[in-house]
Amino acid sequence: MMITYFSLMFFCGIWVFSSNRKHLLVTLLSLEFIVLILFLMLYMYLNGFNYELFFTMVFLTFSVCEGALGLSILVSMIRSYGNDYFQSYVMLQC
């Protein structure tokens, strides 16, 4: 029962990430939502088999690093272009 609930939440996060959004902040929030769902699934899996939960701390460390990189990209885009719209700049520009 819980696996279907987590799978539904995971695919909702994937759907929001892959849909055409205008802002970078929405995509970063959906990535953090996906990471949170993956963390909950990992915690439930490891806790169900009575394994050590050390790997969850490693996973949280990497997810915090991913969030910090995303926020730094967002801040640099806002400083360079003035907003976080994808249409206001060309990503393939040299």
What pTM does this model have? 0.86
pLDDT tens digits for range 12-49: 999 999 997 788 899 999 999 999 999 999 999 999 99
Which CATH number does the domain housing residue 10 bear?
1.10.287.3510
Q: Which residues have a Cβ under 8 Å from the Cβ of 80 and sit 6 or more positions away?
A: 89
Domain count, the chain: 1
Q: Which residues have a Cβ under 8 Å from the Cβ of 31 and sit 6 or more positions away?
A: 13, 17, 66, 70
Whether 86 is covered by a domain: the verdict is no
Whether 91 is covered by a domain: the verdict is no
pLDDT tens digits for range 62-77: 999 999 999 999 998 8
Which domain does 7 fall in, by range? Answer: 2-81
Whether 34 is covered by a domain: the verdict is yes
Contact 30, 67 (CB under 8 A): no
Whether 35 is covered by a domain: the verdict is yes
